Structures are given as structure tokens and as C-alpha cells.
Structure 1
Amino acid sequence: MDLKDSIRIVEDFPKKGISFKDITTLIQDGEKLKYTIDLIVDNLKNKNVDLIVGPEARGFIFGVPVAYALGVGFVPVRKKGKLPGETIEVSYSLEYGEDVLEIHKDVIKQGSRVVIIDDLLATGGTIKAVADLVTKAGGQVIELDFLIELEKIGGRKLLSQYEVKSFVKYDC
């Protein structure tokens, strides 16, 4: 099944010059959503995964069903102030400023084998921050999985210390 055919391209969104990859057209189709989840699960089923971690919001879309299928837990990564209780945080740079991501302090056991899942790899900055957060919490990042990779943007280079897997690639 060609997943690329199910991803809508929206030119000049959210601003001029951006070619937005819209996954809502893929996830609204039950057969294609199931195929996508199964693809990620098949890739991970023999990798001895302890936890799936996903950043809000689209990391939740793919991360939770993959965790369910593997029989492991899911840990959400949220922006600062969105999680109750004690958290661990990491700051990271954005194009114009900084942001902060958090996880609950007690969710990742020392040495846990963690896979981070998100919808799209572009610059890699957010996922690098998520990986730093997992490491800070005591986890071992064993792989980063993305539905889509924008190859020319070069996020894979920033994440070169990790195994990176993407299922649909665009050269823009």
C-alpha cells in the first residue's frame, strides 16, 4: 500500500513557501491507519522495547496504538505546564526563540529501552529535545520512528547518534 498517496500536500501552509504534509487524510481511512500502525509495529516487534514515547500531539496518534500493539506503556511528552505532578523538563531552540518540553518524573525507569515516535522528521530539533528528555529521565533511546521524513531539510543529521526509521520520504 502506498501511504504517500494518502497524504495531502497543502502548499503555502502555514506560511508561504511551506509544503505541508497533512496526515489527516491518511488517518481518516481505517484501512490505511491500520496498515501504518502495523508497519511501525512490525519494525519494532523484535527490538525488546520497554516504552513508547511520543510528543504532543501527532506523536500521540501513532505512539499509543503502537504501544498497545506491542504490549508496552506510552509516555506523553508535553509542552511546559500541561502535565500535573512533578516533571522533568528540557529547553530547546526554535526558529524564533525557545520552548520547553516535559515528562512526568517517575515514568521512565533507569535503563528502559525507549522508542520515540512522531509523525514527521524535518529539522529534528523537537525530537532531539525529546531524546534528551528521555535520557535525562534515565531511559535509553533505541530508535526514532517517523511516518514522514523531509530528507532535504536534514533532520537525520542532527539525530545521527540514533537509529532513525521513516516510512514515507519526501525530497522537499
Structure 2
Amino acid sequence: MAELMKFPTIISLAWKSQKAQKWDTKTKTSGSGKVRTMTNWKYPQYTISTEFEVLTPAQYKELMGFYSKTKGGTVPFLWLDPEDNAETGIQLGTGSMGSWQAVRKFGDFLEPVYHVENLTLYANGSPIRAVSDKGVIKLAAGQTVEPNAVITADYTYYWLVRFSGDMTAEYIFTNVYKSKSFKLVSTR
């Protein structure tokens, strides 16, 4: 599989974002009025709606070029969400497990993340050397931990998304652009 592209780092004066969560829930109502619901999904799908308030001409070209490189919604890419992008001190398990899945935590709900950077792994609060491959965290070669050690981690994570819909930008003032709202849909 080819290396995933990362959404360009565009620092703008203002950023708006909202997330919608979808579970593809099926509901059936019997003749007596009893309701039965179910979903086959283990994790939700997110739709992120966002826009850039201010873009320089170079940022405008970078954004439109990236949209073209991903062929709209065809090619998935990595998105570093400005609000939801890191876990600090998250407990992953014990040393006896040997490898740990990186996760994102919303309240008490955990879901796996597969693209992490800036990883620091801890055994009983002490940093240890580790590597990550597709979100699976393992001890670095030669590193050992006690089987009952509590394993925690700090890391930055990316969302795997694709564009949903068109990308529109407008020229609002001399050398100032703005994007219209665009949507990103999480993928697995």
C-alpha cells in the first residue's frame, strides 16, 4: 500500500470545525410498539465540517492542489484535527501484553487510531523506548519491561479521512482567499 498523504499544514487566522457521528443504526418497531435497534458497526463514522477563514494565495493554491491530488473523495489521507489530535497519559495495558493498540478516548469510549507520531511510552511512569507501526505500539529492540508494569503513552494521532463533496474557495480581498465549508468523512 502506498504511503498516505497528509493534509497540508495551513495556519490560518480562524478555523471552524464540527463533527457529526454516525452509527448506521437500524430500528424495527413491532406491532405492539416494542422497538429493537442494532448496528453492525464496531466504531462510528465521523463527518468533519470545516473551513478556512483566511488563506494567502500560496495557501489557496496548496489547498486546491491537495484536493486535486486526492481526486476529490477518491484517495484517503491523514488529517491532523486541530482539536482532537493527541492523547496524554492514556493507559494501554500492562507489560505482559507485549504490544498495545493506540486509541483515541472520548469519555469512556475507546476506538483505535492507526497513525501516530511523537510517541512516548511509559512503564510505571518511566519513559521507555518504543516504536509504532499502523497504531500498534511495541517495545524497541532490546527494551524490556516487567510483566505487571502499567503501560501508558503520549502521542499525536491522525484521522484517516477522505473528502466528501466539492472544494470551493473564494477571493474576498486583495491577496486574501477563504474556503467555503468542506467535509471530511472518516474511513477505515
Q: Give the structure with the higher percent strand.
A: 2
- Greater C-alpha Rg: 2
Q: Between Structure 1 and Structure 2, which shows a larger proportion of helix residues?
A: 1
Return the TM-score normalized by structure 1.
0.24
Tell me the TM-score normalized by structure 2.
0.23
